[in-house]
Amino acid sequence: MNMKHCKLYLMTKAPVTHSAGEEAGKEERVTAKFSGFVFGKVKLVKGREVRALDLLASHVCLSALLFLNLSQLRLRAVEWRLVGAVLLGKVSLFIVVAAVTLALSPRRHQKGDLASAGLYAIFVTQVNHFGIAYPLVESVFGRSHPSFAGYIYLVAPLSLVLLNPVGLFLIEHDDADP
C-alpha cells in the first residue's frame, strides 16, 4: 500500500491543501464521495468491504497522513502561543465539564460519578479535527495565515495525548473503587 492509495481514499476524510489545482482537488473529492454513495446504493460495496475500507482509513491512511503533515511542519515557524491557547482552551473545557458533571450528579459521591465526568470531558474535547476544524480554520485564516490550518495536525495528537489519559484515568479509577 503506497501513500497515493491512502490519499485517494482520504479525499473524503481529510481536506486537501489549497494550491493551483484547488478546483481539480474539489472535483476529485466530490467524485470520490459521489462514487462511494452510488456504489453503496447499488450494493457494489457490501458491509464487509466498507468495514475493511474504514479500518484502512483509520488505522493506516490517517496515521500516514498525520505523520506526513507533522514531518512537513516547520516547528520553528509555528505560532506556539496559538497552539498553547488552543490547548489551554481544551484543558479549561475539560476541567469545567468534569467539574459540572460531578457537581450536578444526582447520586453524589457514588460509583459512576468519576467515570461519567471523565467520559463527558473526553466527549466534549474530542472534535473531528480533520473533518470539521481544518475546513473552518482554512476558510477563516486561509488568506491571512495559511499555515494555521497545518496546526490542526499538531493540536490533534497533543490533545489526544494530554487529555484522554486523564479522562481514562477517571473512568478506570471509578471502576477500580470497591
pLDDT digits (tens, 9 = 90+) for 81-101: 988 999 999 999 999 999 999
CA angle 83, 137, 93 (to 5 degrees): 50
Q: Please check the confidence at residue 54 and state whether its pLDDT lies above 80.
A: no
Among the residue ranges 21-30, 116-125, 126-135, the one predicted with the least confidence is: 21-30
pLDDT (0 to 100) of residue 5: 47
Cell of 48: 464487509
Q: From CA 16, how far away is CA 26, in angstroms rounded?
A: 8
pLDDT (0 to 100) of residue 165: 93
Confidence of residue 19 (pLDDT cuts 50, 70, 90): low
* Residue position matching grid coordinates 497522513: 65
Write down the domain spans for the chain: 1-72, 74-178
| CB-based burial, 23-49: b 16+ in 10 Å, e otherwise | eeeeebbeebeeeeeeeeeeeebeeee
Q: Please check the confidence at residue 16 and state whether its pLDDT lies above 50.
A: no
pTM of the full predicted structure?
0.67
pLDDT (0 to 100) of residue 85: 93
pLDDT digits (tens, 9 = 90+) for 164-174: 999 999 889 87
Amino acid at 72: Q
